[in-house]
Amino acid sequence: MKSPKPPYQSAPAPQSEVRPNPVRVPLQSGPRHFINRELSWLEFNQRVLEEAMRPDNPLLERLKFYCIVSSNLDEFFEIRVAGLKQQVETGSTECGPDGLTPRQALVAIRRRVLRMVRDHNACWSEQLKPGLARHGIRFLGPKEWNEEDRAWLEHYYRSVVRPVLTPLAIDPAHPFPLLVNRALNLIVRLGVTRRDRRLPRLAVLEVPRVLPRLIRLPRSEARWDYAFLGEVIGHFLTDLFPERVVQGWWPFRVTRNSELYIDEEEVANLLAAVEQELQRRRRGAAVRLEVARHCPAEVRNELLQQLGLSAEDLYLVDGPLNPARLMSLYEEAPLPGLRYPSWVAPIARPFQNQTDLFAVIRQTDVLLHHPYESFESVVTLLQQAAADPDVLAIKQTLYRTGGDPRIVGALMEAVRNGKTVAAVVELRARFDEANNIRWARQLEEAGVHVVYGLVGYKIHCKATLIVRREGDTIRRYVHLGTGNYNPATARQYTDLGMLTCRPEIGEDVTDLFNLLTGMTQFRPLRQLWVAPFDLKSHLLRRIEREAQHAAAGLPARIIGKMNALVDQEVIEALYRASAAGVQIDLIVRGICCLRPGQRGVSESIHVRSIVDRFLEHSRIMYFENGGQPEVFLSSADWMPRNFHRRIEVAFPVLDGNLRDRVIHELLALPLADNVRARVLQADGTWRHARPAPGEPARRSQFEFMERAQVKEAVSLSPRNTSGKIPLRPRPVQD
């Protein structure tokens, strides 16, 4: 199989690139052909919730999914719902591709979220809580405490909790406090007599975030009984209001607009501006109120009024108001039988028993598939580069660095060893801003040249360039990836990384870093596609080329793996390709606004999503190209923000063996998954894939783990010895 030709050449473009007569298939796309972005995301979160409700998942893994659903929904309200509410407030009536105005979208979102909250509550009360109790993990309320529990908790309350509590009255002299985003609070109603009718009737008490939300009661090692901190505070509340009657207390939580608003062209110091905006985030406009279901209506209405919210912003909760705090139980409970067996990724085969990683990369390109192959090879390469006297320079982009100090530590060590080091740090990586600011300061103090990228764009590409002197020549070693330089998430997310020293790739990555540091204007590169400049146009051209090939009777097929598909122009191009006869398979983890299976529009498009043990995060593009397949990996999803507002990179897999591996393994296995895959229907619903009669069950993530443990290289699944990608996902069986 020939290696695909580069997308940019000084010579005339090859025949497959020439488009003298573009295929024009008549297509009248309209709102009925698009799924609303926000509703599609909510369906993804429902798929995560379904994993929490699956009895065949280990119990603590189900608890983890239950927590993730809550965290996902928090961010959804902080960003997406907050943005829609702002559009409504400004009077916007502009419709999206699906035909919904912002107000109509909010109505549909509330209707869908109410169902999700109901399912989420039931998952806790009917499945997880009773299931954990059967394994000795109980959550006891005040009515279930015995005398010893009550005495021990009272001592804990008085010695540890009470000193950090601050009750806040609500009356004309004490306006409603500005509550921190997502903090757990108690609203307290106090009795008032004629004699003290001027005293406040309500008070707010923030549950201290500095204390553990779960309090483990003293028990034998075999029993794990907990009390919730909020319930402990509520039980002993009378201690804070002497000579007052506490008529009731109820937990609640406020979600606020958390988007950062920074005019980069107007600020002199981006780092300082981001820091200042982070402080405002915690006090943004309220967008959601969550309250315990048993809270009286008059108290709920008072909270809504004080927060400037309406009844449409109220959600009643049965169970923990901040389930994310239960993740500590998932991580700490010594019950390994309730989790998946621990997974330790092996070193990728080319690097096994090798001490000089540079020598390996000189011989061959290396493809890393995380978390099935260890991310430690990337860390080791950086550490070797930092210590190697022949390495002259290191350049790297950092989007989400995480808490592992080895990546930035290697960059700082390289400076101490006299090398030129540049780090392009994205300060606006959502909800990682504070962490990135801290690392940026440390890097600057160590002497690293820290750059914050281009004005108006987030730097989302993942690239490392190592410049090394080898005899009389200079060689450039490159790592390009679909995921972040974060060893922690590399154990939880499925991602791809490529290591190469091909001169044409090294030259492109050099130009990319010169662009990011502001030294050059963009000019088309030899192998890489770069957003916002030409990535989308390259993608559209290849989709159109497949349509031409189909019209000419040549092999034509597109496979795309991504996290989200939103861009209207790309979706319409896929519709035209489908109408021309191109077979299209999309593996979309989250949002998908494309509606498959529509007669005359998208009949040959099939969409599936996999939610399983690891978070699907890799991005892959496959184009049949008339029998000369092209494969690209990318940091970008097919969304307007990735195409137009971020610096993203797509890069080709040029090595024929690695390209075969991507085609026949990394794409074929997810397309054959019939255990954890869901298939998108034309009406926007998702249905579980099921094995056809006589067909074996295929669970792609577990098969990847099995393959990673095989000592000898395996290019084809023993269950798919033909080496062909399944032409179609198996039919959904009810």
Of the pLDDT bands very low, low, confident and very high (cuts 50, 70, 90), residue 334 is: confident
Q: Let me know if residue 222 belongs to a domain.
A: yes
Q: Let me know if residue 232 belongs to a domain.
A: yes
Q: Let me know if residue 208 belongs to a domain.
A: yes
Q: Which of 285, 310, 338 marks a domain boundary?
A: 338
Q: Are residues 270 and 324 in the same domain?
A: yes
Residue 551 is predicted with a pLDDT of 95
Q: Average pLDDT for residues 3-12, to the nearest whole number?
A: 32
Of the pLDDT bands very low, low, confident and very high (cuts 50, 70, 90), residue 196 is: low
Q: Are residues 455 and 403 in the same domain?
A: yes
Q: Residue 424 has what DSSP assignment?
A: E
Q: Average pLDDT for residues 134-156, to the nearest whole number?
A: 94
Q: Average pLDDT for residues 477-496, to the nearest whole number?
A: 94
Q: Is the predicted pLDDT of residue 267 greater than 70, yes or no?
A: no
Q: Let me know if residue 570 belongs to a domain.
A: yes
Q: Are residues 362 and 469 in the same domain?
A: yes
Q: Average pLDDT for residues 614-625, to the nearest whole number?
A: 97
Q: Average pLDDT for residues 37-50, to the nearest whole number?
A: 98
Which residues are 317's β-sheet partners?
292
Q: Are residues 135 and 239 in the same domain?
A: yes
Which residues contact residue 556 at a Cβ distance below 8 angstroms, ignoring those fewer than 6 apart? 546, 547, 549, 550, 577, 580, 581, 582, 583, 624, 626
* Percent of the chain's residues with pLDDT above 90: 73
Q: Which of 315, 338, 361 marks a domain boundary?
A: 338
Told to judge if 617 belongs to the known catalytic residues of this protein, a careful annotator would answer no
Residue 6 is predicted with a pLDDT of 32
Residues 80, 87: Cα–Cα separation, whole Å: 11
Residues 192, 210: Cα–Cα separation, whole Å: 33
Q: How many CB atoms are located within 10 Å of the residue 664 CB?
A: 18
Q: Average pLDDT for residues 558-582, to the nearest whole number?
A: 97
Residues 595, 203: Cα–Cα separation, whole Å: 50
Which residues contact residue 20 at a Cβ distance below 8 angstroms, ignoring those fewer than 6 apart? none
Match 């096994």 to its residue by tokens.
352
Q: Are residues 533 and 396 in the same domain?
A: no
Residues 716, 669: Cα–Cα separation, whole Å: 10
Classify 182 in phi/psi space as left (phi over 0), alpha (psi -120 to 50) or beta: left
Residue 16 is predicted with a pLDDT of 38
Q: Average pLDDT for residues 26-49, to the nearest whole number?
A: 89
Tokens of 566: 């939103």
Residues 538, 605: Cα–Cα separation, whole Å: 20
Of the pLDDT bands very low, low, confident and very high (cuts 50, 70, 90), residue 377 is: very high
Tokens of 340: 């998946």
Residues 322, 18: Cα–Cα separation, whole Å: 56
CATH of residue 696: 3.30.870.10
Of the pLDDT bands very low, low, confident and very high (cuts 50, 70, 90), residue 201 is: confident
Residue-number span of the structural domain to which 180 is assigned: 55-65+95-338
Q: Are residues 289 and 421 in the same domain?
A: no
Q: How many CB atoms are located within 10 Å of the residue 130 CB?
A: 11
**Planar angle of CA 625, 627, 632, nearest 5 degrees:** 45
Residue 403 is predicted with a pLDDT of 60
Q: Is the predicted pLDDT of residue 268 greater than 70, yes or no?
A: no
Q: Average pLDDT for residues 324-330, to the nearest whole number?
A: 89
Q: Are residues 123 and 253 in the same domain?
A: yes
Tokens of 122: 């039931």
Q: Let me know if residue 180 belongs to a domain.
A: yes
Tokens of 657: 């063996």
Q: Which of 355, 388, 363, 350 is nearest to 468 (CA)?
A: 388
Q: Are residues 503 and 606 in the same domain?
A: no
Residue 721 is predicted with a pLDDT of 32
Residues 485, 731: Cα–Cα separation, whole Å: 38
Q: Average pLDDT for residues 440-451, to the nearest whole number?
A: 88
Q: Is the predicted pLDDT of residue 545 greater than 70, yes or no?
A: yes
Q: Are residues 496 and 564 in the same domain?
A: no
Q: Which of 516, 538, 564 marks a domain boundary?
A: 516
Q: Which of 576, 567, 533, 572 is nearest to 638 (CA)?
A: 567
Residue 1 is predicted with a pLDDT of 36
Q: Let me know if residue 12 belongs to a domain.
A: no
Main-chain phi, psi angles of 347, to 5 degrees: -70, 140
Q: Are residues 101 and 214 in the same domain?
A: yes
Q: Is the predicted pLDDT of residue 277 greater than 60, yes or no?
A: no
Strand boundaries in 563-604, DSSP class E: 583-588
| pTM over 0.85, yes/no | yes
Q: Is 360 helix (H, G, I), strand (E, B) or coil?
A: helix
Alpha carbon of 289 to those of 233, 353, 387: distances in Å?
21, 56, 53
Rg (CA), the chain: 28
CATH of residue 226: 3.30.1840.10
Q: Average pLDDT for residues 186-190, to the nearest whole number?
A: 94
Residue 10 is predicted with a pLDDT of 30
Question: How many DSSP H helices and E strands does the chain contain?
Answer: 21, 27
Residue 97 is predicted with a pLDDT of 93
Q: Let me know if residue 303 belongs to a domain.
A: yes
Q: Are residues 377 and 316 in the same domain?
A: no
Catalytic choice (33, 369, 460, 549): 460
Q: Is the predicted pLDDT of residue 273 greater than 60, yes or no?
A: no
Q: How many CB atoms are located within 10 Å of the residue 401 CB?
A: 25
Contact 424, 453 (CB under 8 A): yes
Of the candidate ranges 219-228, 607-616, 646-655, the one whose mean pLDDT is the lowest: 219-228
Over residues 70-81, the pLDDT tens digits come to: 999 999 999 999
Q: Are residues 166 and 267 in the same domain?
A: yes
Question: Could you tell me the strand order of the sheet in which 168-170 lies?
Answer: 168-170, 202-206, 184-190, 246-256, 286-292, 314-317
Alpha-carbon dihedral of residues 536, 537, 541, 543, nearest 10 degrees?
Answer: 20
Q: Average pLDDT for residues 616-627, to the nearest whole number?
A: 97
Q: Is the predicted pLDDT of residue 265 greater than 60, yes or no?
A: no
Residue 405 is predicted with a pLDDT of 86
Q: Let me know if residue 714 belongs to a domain.
A: no
Which residues contact residue 333 at a Cβ distance below 8 angstroms, ignoring those fewer than 6 apart? 60, 137, 224
Residue 331 is predicted with a pLDDT of 85
Classify 464 in phi/psi space as left (phi over 0), alpha (psi -120 to 50) or beta: beta
Over residues 411-423, the pLDDT tens digits come to: 999 999 999 999 9
Residue 528 is predicted with a pLDDT of 98
Domain count of the chain? 3
Residue 74 is predicted with a pLDDT of 96
Q: Which residues of 484-521 are buried (b: 16+ CB within 10 A; e: fewer)?
A: bbbbebbeebbbbbbbbbbebbbbbbbbbbebbeeeee
Residue 501 is predicted with a pLDDT of 98
What is the residue type of 355?
A: T
